[in-house]
Amino acid sequence: MQTKPVLSSNTFRYLNTSVHINAKPDTIIRSYAENKVIQLTLREIVEFSTPGRFVDFAAFIKRELPIRISHRIVELESLPYNLSDMPSTLKLRNMYQLGFHLIRSLPEPSDDVSLEIFVKGVESHFKSLANATELLAAGITECTIHHPSQATQVRTCKFLNGFLDRFHTSRIGTRLLTGQLCALYAQYYGKNDKPKAIAGDKSSALGILDDNCSPKEVLQWAVDDAARMCYENFGK
């Protein structure tokens, strides 16, 4: 008989730790950042998302997520024009550092008990970074305000533009993986965290992936939403 999972003291501490400004990446983070990110194709994600391979998918994310997070931490620390020292950038970097140590503290997902603990920890990390894009944008704004003489360089810096491309591309890919993990767990285990049969599920969705998704409709929604925001902020 399995008992209700209990978060370890380390995991509980990371879930409830405040962000400490000016914390520096440690040697463990830097060693992880030396590893290359493993990119999965959409087909591979779908194959990983079947009930029989869900635990393998969780184990992959357990190994992969700290590597991806470490890359973001090291890059955020090395931004030019004092950008890495701005309050919002520091807050974002330290949020990633807390997430890095949280994921490493979670148990290897190998059974129902450890799987629940792991997924809940990943979900906590996923939610904590919901405003990462806004924090990064705020950091850039703070940099131009505190260092007005560098404002032009900041806006035209090729290195910074390249970093932003990598940051957002990586963010999309990573949130796809973590979002898929959390959605599949809810789909396979239900609200009471008990495994459930899905053979009779008539939904076309596999986690956050939907066979009936219309790219045209999604793109049109994005166009309409961007137009609305432009009109609200700029009047045109």
Query: Where does residue 21 rank: exposed (0-12), middle (13-18), buried (19+ CB within 10 A)?
Result: exposed
- Is residue 42 classed as helix, strand or coil in its secondary structure? helix
Contacts of 75-78 with CB under 8 Å at 24 or more apart are: 75/163, 75/166, 75/167, 77/24, 77/25
Walk along the chain (236 residues) in steps of 10 and give the mean pLDDT of each run: 47 46 73 95 92 94 97 92 92 95 95 94 95 94 88 82 92 95 90 51 77 90 95 92
CA distance linking residue 147 with residue 27, whole number of Å: 31
Question: What pLDDT does 147 receive?
Answer: 85
Domain boundaries 9-203, CATH class: mainly alpha
Query: Where does residue 49 rank: exposed (0-12), middle (13-18), buried (19+ CB within 10 A)?
Result: buried
CA distance linking residue 148 with residue 152, whole number of Å: 8
- Tokens in use for 192? 């009471």
Question: What pLDDT does 1 receive?
Answer: 42
Dihedral angle over CA of 88, 141, 172, 190, nearest 10: 50
Q: Which residues pair with 210 in a beta bridge?
A: 205
* Domain residue spans of the chain: 9-203
pTM of the entire structure? Answer: 0.79
Question: What pLDDT does 155 receive?
Answer: 78
